[in-house]
Each structure stands twice: as C-alpha cells, then as structure tokens.
Amino acid sequence: MGPGPINADPRVLRAMSAQLLGQYDPAMTAYMTETMGLYREVFRTANEQTLLIDGTSRAGIEAALVSMIEPGDRVLVPVFGRFGHLLREIAERSGAEVHVREAEWGTVFTPEQIEQAVIETEPKILAVVHGDTSTTMAQPLDELGAICREHGVIFYTDVTASLAGNTFETDAWGLDAVTAGLQKCLAGPSGSAPATFSPRAVELINARKSIEAGIRSDGDEVRATPIRSNYFDLAMIFDYWGSKRLNHHTEATSMLYGSRECARLLVDEGIDNAVERHRMHGGAMLEGLRGLGLEIFGDVSHKMNNVTAVYIPDAVSGDAVRGELLDDFGIEIGTSFGPLHGKVWRIGTMGYNARKDTVLTTLAAFEQVLRRAGASVTAGGGVGAAYDFYADEAAGANAGEAAGADVREAELADLERAGL
Amino acid sequence: MGPGPINADPRVLRAMSAQLLGQYDPAMTAYMTETMGLYREVFRTANEQTLLIDGTSRAGIEAALVSMIEPGDRVLVPVFGRFGHLLREIAERSGAEVHVREAEWGTVFTPEQIEQAVIETEPKILAVVHGDTSTTMAQPLDELGAICREHGVIFYTDVTASLAGNTFETDAWGLDAVTAGLQKCLAGPSGSAPATFSPRAVELINARKSIEAGIRSDGDEVRATPIRSNYFDLAMIFDYWGSKRLNHHTEATSMLYGSRECARLLVDEGIDNAVERHRMHGGAMLEGLRGLGLEIFGDVSHKMNNVTAVYIPDAVSGDAVRGELLDDFGIEIGTSFGPLHGKVWRIGTMGYNARKDTVLTTLAAFEQVLRRAGASVTAGGGVGAAYDFYADEAAGANAGEAAGADVREAELADLERAGL
C-alpha cells in the first residue's frame, strides 16, 4: 500500500508465465500490434506510434527526451516534486539547455504560470510530470496543450504515477509525447514503459532517423549526428514496431505479455471505471487517515486519486511505524524524498490494491501501530470514516448516479480477482 | 530452435509469476544481493559489481559503453559479424572515436591481429563480441586480457549469445566489463541484462559519478559533464545495488525473479555441465545437418556450441522452408543478416532447447520439409548421424570420461524439466 510498485494483478503475473515466441513469429508480431491498439485506448489517442519501451518507466522518459532533444535545444521543465527534477536531469544529459520553474512541494502550477514561462524561455519542448508521487500532486494538463500549440512547443508528459487512476487524455489535451510505467495503477511489474507519440513528435523524431550499422540496407537513412542513444532511438524503435520490423532489439517477450494483460484488464474494466474506482478507494483512504487524526499533506484539491501523504506525528518514528506495519502486518507504506523525507508517509490505493478490503485492512492495522508508537489516535476512527465514505458513495449511487453502478461492477471485478 | 530468443525454461517462467515486493522490502533487497552472488558464479568472477541492467541485452551493452566512454575516447572494435557493428554503433553514439577492424564473416581474429590493432590505434577500450550469432563464430578471448593489460586497455565483451553454452571466464581471461542477456543459453526471456565490472572498470566509472537532482544528498557527487545517459549511469546503478540503495530506478521485479532463476538453474546444473550439454547437443545437431547433406557455414573450429549455420541449398526458398517448419511443425529456425541474409539458415540448440529430443525432432522435421521443397536429402541421414554422434559420446563416457557422466546427469535434468 505504498506509492508503488504495488501488488500486481495475479492475472498479469499469470500472463507473464506463458511460453516465449520467436521475435518474428506471426503470433508474436500480432501480439505486438494488438498491444499497440490496447494502449491507444488506455492513453486515449489515435496515435499510430503507441508502443512499449523495454525498460522501467524512466527508460520511457529517456527514450522520449533523448529522441526529441538535439544538443542545444531549449527545454522547459516545471518542477513540483522529485520526478520533475528527473525530467530536468535526463533533458540535461541529453544535451538540452534546460530552464526550470519550481513550485513549492505540495502545490502545482497554474496554466498562466506555465504560459508565462513558455513566453520567457521559448522552449522547443515543455516537459512536465502529470502526477508526481513524491508530493502526491497531479499537475492539471488540460489547458497546456493549447498553450503549446499557440507557441509552437512540443508537449511531453510522464504519466507513470497517474495513468488509469486519474483522468488523462492524450489527444484531447494536445499531448505530443507521453510515457508511462506498469507498476502503479496499471497493476503490473516495473520493466515495461508504454508510450505514445503524436504525428508532430514522430515527424521530429523521424527527421533524425539513422539506421544502425549491421542491419542497414541500401537507401536507409544514415546521419553524422544520430540520436545519442542507440537503445532509446525511437526512430528505429518505430520501425521495429511497424511493418518494416527492423531488427533493432529482441523484444522483452514476457514483459510484453504483462503489458498487454495490464491494458486488456483496463479496457475490460473501462478506463473511466478504473479512474472512478481509484477516486472512490482513494477517497475512502483519505477520509480514513483523517479519521485517525492524521493531517493530510499538500493541496488536496490537486491530489492524485491513488496516493495520499500524511504528516508523521511529532514524537513518532516514521521508519519504526513503517517497519512494524511491514514486519507484523505485511503492509508496506512509503516515506518520501528531499524536503519531505522523514516528514510524511505516503499511502497508495492503486491498481490491484485499489479495493475496499485493502483500504479497511490498512486503516485497521495503521491504527494499532500508531497507538503502540504513542500517537494519539481515535479508536475505530479510521475504519469508521472510511465506512462512512463508502456509505455516502453508495447512497449517491442509489440516488441514480451512473458512476455508482460502475463502481459496484468494479467491486465485483475485484472479488473475482481475489478469488482467482 | 532458432538463434534466440528460444523457449524459456518453464521454471524461469513460473518464477516470474511470483507476487511483487516493495523495492526496499528487505526480502527484495536480499533477492537482489543473492542474484549478484549467483551471477558471480555464472560469470566466473569475484567482481563486487555484478548486477542486472533493466532492459534487453543491448541495454547492457549501452550501459557498459556509455558509462565507460567519455566523448573523444578511442575505442577499438574488431568486427566479425552483425553485433560487432552494434558495438561500434553504440560506442560512436556515446561519443567515442571508434576504430574498426573487420574479419570476413565466418572467421575470427588471431590474438596477433588484435594486438597489432591495439598498437596502431592506442584505444582506451577494446570492445569485442564473444559469440556473434549472426555468423555463429566465437572469438577466442583467453589471450586478449594479457594484451589489454600490457597496453593499458580496458577490455570489454558482450557474451549474450555465448554465456553458459561455451566456456567463458571473466577473471581468468582478464575481462574488465562483461554484459549478457537471458534469451540464449540462460533459458530466460529477453528483458534483463546481467553484467559484471572489474575494480578497474568500477574505478573508471565511479570517477564520473554524478548523483541526479531530486535524490541528491549533501556531499553527493555532482559533475558538469556527467555520464550522458541517466538510465544507463552505472555509477548510480552501482549505488542502487549496493548498501547505499540509491533510489535510481524501480527495479524490474519480475525480470529480477526470472534472472535469478536462470542463474539458480545454471548453478544447480553446474556451469561446466551446462557448457558440456551445449557442446554435446550442438555437436549432434551439427552432425545431423551434415547427415542431411547440408553444408556448414564458416570456420567450424571457432563455432559456438549453441548455434549452427548451414547454406540454403540452391533452388530452395529459405523463407518457404522456414515458414513450413514453423506453420506445420511448430519449429522455428532463423536466417541471418547482411551478407548472409537469405544465404544461410541458423539452427540453435541452446538453453532449455539444448536437448536430445529437440535435436532429433528438428532433424526429422527438417528432412521432410527439405524433401518437399525439392532439395536432395538422405532419408534418415540427419537423425541417423545425430544418433551415431550420441552413441559415440556415450561410448566415450563408458570408457570413463568424467564429462560423459555429467552429460547423463544433464539429460536427467532435462527429463525432469520436461516433466515439470
């Protein structure tokens, strides 16, 4: 129940135990093509270039940035948590002239602030994290696409922490490049990075295409200054996933099976239903934590559905509480980074773990551990507040709200999962 | 039965279906540490820095090269197949001044040729592939370490295609950096790259250490010109796998489970026994292909145990034969790249597929498909020659050769595997 990685959906793990296929077996390439289609639904995009990068979520970030950035390009990075610093770091190592704007941890930027920074720095690329688990904040992106279009800026975001747990729209929000990971709301293991690229981003990347020695054919593109990374060269990776089937790397077959299953489960559930499930169980966790007497960190109106940070009470050892929860109850929660290290705990409700039973069990155990650590807690306050929240949700559903029905369906799906 | 990826050992796939652990759960970090130890045995090294890169085998290559190469460094790459070109490409993109020597495909270099090139080019790094599946050749490396030491050169090799199927010694041969993959003789899926680095390589890499923004603490190293890649920054990756547990990336948990199981199975079998198993079944396949009347490609005295290339007979369509083997018999074999594309087939006997039953079944099916394609084949010639080879091996074992006993044990292990 930390900020991720979390328990994977058992169906994803089972999919990964399927036997391997040869890289160009028609069955394998058909799975690749099917996976592209599934992730178009998850990302809400019509982008042809929707595929997997073989590595963890930061592999997806590096592939996007190193393939789009030519040394000397200006990149604007609004930073509101640890992962904004990561975008900055990767852009700098890719040779960009990076301009940073920082928001206090626990807050986000207004569209006006972003536009002002765009005007001041005239970047080629705006690179911003959607949800930053380090602070639990989600940066609103829906107005930034229009700003980027107006100023001729490529718009990139990483949605590793937010996708499928919070509303996200690649095309409707005007994104040019989006990268993700499986280990949060997608309910899979780290190690595969779904990504999507708009025709504008593809044009930019393909203009840099240089086919590597050893598999180059007559007439193939060669450039004196290719993309700086071979492994993350998206121009070649597009040709691997496309009809050319360029032999760039050997696709990580088991991770592909896992990624495909993550997307299948989400599409079966319905992306909106999955977001609603995260909203509901995240809301129950938030109210439960308040009911225990804990203070929530940050601007709750911009908090992601799937993770909540609370201040560690004075005179309580954050690490000791985390250790007892893990050792004695088998429940993991997280601390945070930088200015928040040792100051907050982060509790996730994401992916396979965004369920009523996990929320209630975590609150029940947390109450016991906090009390034994000497914190002042209200007996039954956490679980009671969560039950109240669920009851209010159900009442809303009974009053005829469509979302409520979906939520009930999601609950049934959860039971089915737990029962395997 | 192609040149890889091949069928994974079912025990590896089962290991990958285990539930995830939190990244800093003591159980998880213990698995990481255990995996380091297992790969020290597989690589035959005492190197502390023996770990996994989260990506396919070329991710391992890029991590090694980009972390060791500073722009402008001279790198010598002896090329004897497709993957030599890949080393050259990755070294160039890392900013190196690359010097190439080429051997005709199907041959390898003598130590004298390599030393001459070292003297001529005075490289910082010698980067050479051990086994290049594109030609089936294995470059002898055992004399190159002394040459590198004498001339102050860092010695790097990629053993993705050869490790565990051919004798390989990291420390005894004087290697400074070695990278691998799981999808050949290690019997796992692509997507995790085991690697090992000598103290000399570690010193070189750590001299470039620059801890990324967002997780940097007071006193941590920061450099104006860090390693060009963040994802492949081995200095930070060492700190992630070491006691510092720097939060560089979220380890690909399922791939770690798979990598660990690949190494456990090899260590259980015994590395020498595994190599001997590949020698025996690769030898049976070679004799069987000859028995079918096919001509072997390349210098057989330098061929890897685990893959054999044969010329496609005139007037036979290589792709049609491959298609019929796959579609009608469920057996995949490969073609090759560049100058060998469409000229040879490559047949693997590696990892989980280095077994008597797979060798005989492949030869039996191959005979039928070749005959129907109009090739001149000897009825029963392939299977018969393989049986003869196995009989000779068994006779050798009865005469008291220790290797024979190990081989029989390996056969039993195979049966156990097939029976699960």
State the SS3 of B253-272: HHHHHHHHHHHHHHHHHCHH
| A 198-227 residues with CB < 8 A to B | 212-215, 226-227
Measured between beta carbons, which residues in chain A are less than 8 angstroms from residue B17? 13-14, 16-17
Residue A88 has pLDDT above 90, yes or no: yes
pLDDT at A409: 52
CA B100 to chain centre: 22
Averaged pLDDT score across all residues of chain A: 94
pLDDT at A213: 87
Give the integer Cα–Cα distance in Å for A385 and A296: 15
Interface test with A, best of B14, B17, B105, B248 (most A CBs within 10 A): B17
B337, B3 contact by CB (below 8 A)? no
pLDDT at A125: 98
Measured between beta carbons, which residues in chain B are less than 8 angstroms from residue A215? 82, 337-338
Query: Is there a binding annotation on residue B260?
Result: no
pLDDT at B214: 86
Query: Angle, to 10 degrees, between the axis of helix B271-291 and the axis of helix B381-398?
Result: 140
Name the token pair of A334: 């997280």
- The ipTM, to two decimals, is 0.94
For the residues A231-259, what does the mean pLDDT come to? 97
The CATH superfamily holding the domain B270-419 is Aspartate Aminotransferase, domain 1 (3.90.1150.10)
> Cβ–Cβ contacts within 10 Å for residue A215, how many?
20
Q: CA A367 → CA A158, A288, A336, A379, A380, distances in Å?
A: 35, 10, 21, 7, 8
| A 282-321 residues with CB < 8 A to B | none
pLDDT tens for A145-179 read 999 999 999 999 999 999 999 999 999 999 999 99
B289, B347 contact by CB (below 8 A)? yes
Interface test with B, best of A11, A32, A89, A158 (most B CBs within 10 A): A89
Burial B286-322 (b: 16+ CB within 10 A, else e): bbbbbbbbbebbbeeebbbbbbbbbebbeeeebeebb
| Three-state secondary structure call for residue A342 | coil
For chain A, residues classed under CATH 3.90.1150.10 are 270-419
pLDDT at A217: 87
Classify the C-alpha dihedral A62-A67-A68-A73 as positive or negative.
positive
pLDDT at B338: 86
Residue A353 has pLDDT above 90, yes or no: yes
Check if B242 contacts A (Cβ < 8 Å): no
What's the Rg (C-alpha) of chain B? 22
Name the token pair of A139: 């940066």
| Three-state secondary structure call for residue B225 | coil
Name the token pair of B142: 């055992």
**Residues contacting A298, CB < 8 A, separation 6+:** A105, A106, A107, A135, A136, A137, A309
Give the integer Cα–Cα distance in Å for A273 and B116: 66
For the residues A219-229, what does the mean pLDDT come to? 93
Residue A84 has pLDDT above 50, yes or no: yes
Q: How many helices (H) and strands (E) does chain A have?
A: 14, 11
Check if B120 contacts A (Cβ < 8 Å): no
Q: CA B416 → CA B266, B352, B358, distances in Å?
A: 15, 12, 15
| B 260-279 residues with CB < 8 A to A | none
B303, B165 contact by CB (below 8 A)? no
Name the token pair of A116: 């002002």
Confidence category of residue A403, pLDDT binned at 50, 70, 90: low
Averaged pLDDT score across all residues of chain B: 94
pLDDT at B405: 47
Check if A254 contacts B (Cβ < 8 Å): yes
Q: Is the CB of B254 less than 8 angstroms away from the CB of A16?
A: yes
Give the integer Cα–Cα distance in Å for B144 and B151: 11
pLDDT at A370: 97
State the smallest CA–CA distance between residue B229 and chain A in angstroms: 6
Residues of chain B with pLDDT under 70: 398-420
Residue A406 has pLDDT above 80, yes or no: no
For the residues A29-35, what does the mean pLDDT come to? 97
A74, A124 contact by CB (below 8 A)? yes
Give the integer Cα–Cα distance in Å for A308 and A297: 8
Give the integer Cα–Cα distance in Å for A153 and B124: 41
Instruction: Give φ, ψ of B328 to 5 degrees.
Output: -100, -20
Nearest to B25 among A20, A253, A326 (CB): A326
Q: Taking CB atoms and an 8 Å cut-off, how many pairs form between chains A and B?
A: 209
Name the E strands within B262-319. Answer: 307-311
Closest-approach residue (CA) in chain B for A90: B230
pLDDT at A218: 86
pLDDT at B419: 46
Q: Is the CB of B19 less than 8 angstroms away from the CB of A2?
A: no
**Facing residues of B75 across strands?**
B98, B125
Give the integer Cα–Cα distance in Å for A364 and B50: 42
Instruction: Kindly state the DSSP code that residue A6 receives in the 8-state scheme.
Output: -
| Three-state secondary structure call for residue B1 | coil
Q: CA B292 → CA A123, B3, B145, B287, B297, distances in Å?
A: 64, 20, 40, 9, 14
Burial B249-281 (b: 16+ CB within 10 A, else e): bbbbbbbbbbbbbbbbbbbebbbebbbbbbbbb
Give the integer Cα–Cα distance in Å for B162 and B263: 15
Name the token pair of A277: 């499930």
CA A103 to chain centre: 20
Check if A3 contacts B (Cβ < 8 Å): no
Check if B152 contacts A (Cβ < 8 Å): no
A148, A168 contact by CB (below 8 A)? no
Q: Is the CB of B191 less than 8 angstroms away from the CB of A226?
A: no
Residue A43 has pLDDT above 70, yes or no: yes
Interface test with A, best of B93, B160, B216 (most A CBs within 10 A): B93
| CA angle (B36, A230, B67) in 5-degree steps | 45
Check if A417 contacts B (Cβ < 8 Å): no
Global pTM reads 0.95
Which amino acid type is present at position A29? T
B83, B134 contact by CB (below 8 A)? yes
Q: Is the CB of A83 less than 8 angstroms away from the CB of B214?
A: yes
For the residues A324-345, what does the mean pLDDT come to? 94
pLDDT at A337: 86
CATH number for region B10-266: 3.40.640.10
